[in-house]
């Protein structure tokens, strides 16, 4: 179990290093590692998009709380629109993570097919 975790961490770190432009110098630059850079870039981009939307929601929630505490009728009425905006943002975050999940699953499937293809060609 520890060996599996160690191996997965090495792969994770190697992918992160490649994505950051760091080469370990082992001379084994394969298409899979080039794909890793693309995967890491997609992950990073998606997480940054989601975080930006969540940060906007944080500010909107602060404003809703301020309006609620003020008990001023106009502020309470404006909360309806703010809460609708928050709900729209939540939908965006769900969409971002759904898209990320699809892309990640697609990469895993492609890698599996490629790996299986290599195994099959060796047997022939």
* Span 24-40, pLDDT tens digits: 444 444 555 666 888 88
| Residue 94 domain flag | yes
Contact 49, 96 (CB under 8 A): yes
Sort 36 into a burial class: Cβ within 10 Å, 0-12 / 13-18 / 19+: buried
Query: Does any domain span residue 95?
Result: yes
The answer as to whether 57 is a domain residue is yes
Residue 100 half-sphere exposure, CB side, CA atoms within 13 Å? 17
Q: Is 100 within 8 Å of 46 (Cβ atoms)?
A: yes
pTM of the model: 0.63
How far apart, in whole angstroms, are the C-alpha atoms of residue 13 and residue 115?
21
Ranges of H-type helices in 20-72: 31-70
Q: Is the pLDDT reported for residue 56 higher than 80?
A: yes
pLDDT at residue 47, rounded to an integer: 94
Instruction: Decide: 60 and 85 in contact? Cβ < 8 Å.
Output: yes
User: Which is more confident, 57 or 1?
Assistant: 57
pLDDT of residue 76: 97
Domain presence at residue 24: no
**How many structural domains comprise the chain?**
1
Alpha-carbon radius of gyration of the chain: 22
Rounded to an integer, what is the distance from CA 49 to the centroid of its chain? 9
Query: The domain containing residue 52 runs over which residues?
Result: 47-108
- In this prediction, residue 39 carries a pLDDT of 82
In a domain, 83, yes or no: yes
* Residue 70 to residues 16, 67, 78, 80, 95, Cα–Cα distance (Å): 48, 5, 12, 15, 34
Domain-embedded: residue 113: no
Does the pLDDT of residue 97 top 70, yes or no?
yes
**Residue 3 pLDDT > 80, yes or no?**
no
Q: In this structure, is residue 80 part of a structural domain?
A: yes
């Amino acid at each position: 179990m520890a060996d599996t975790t160690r191996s997965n961490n090495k792969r994770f770190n190697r992918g992160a290093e490649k994505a950051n432009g760091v080469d370990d110098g082992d001379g084994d630059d394969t298409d899979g590692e080039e794909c890793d850079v693309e995967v890491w870039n997609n992950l990073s981009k998606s997480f940054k998009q989601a975080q930006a939307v969540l940060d906007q929601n944080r500010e909107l929630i602060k404003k809703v709380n301020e309006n609620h505490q003020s008990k001023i009728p106009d502020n309470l009425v404006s909360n309806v629109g703010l809460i609708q905006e928050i709900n729209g943002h939540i939908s965006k975050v769900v969409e971002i993570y759904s898209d990320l999940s699809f892309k990640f699953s697609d990469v895993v499937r492609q890698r599996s097919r490629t790996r299986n293809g290599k195994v099959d060609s060796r047997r022939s």
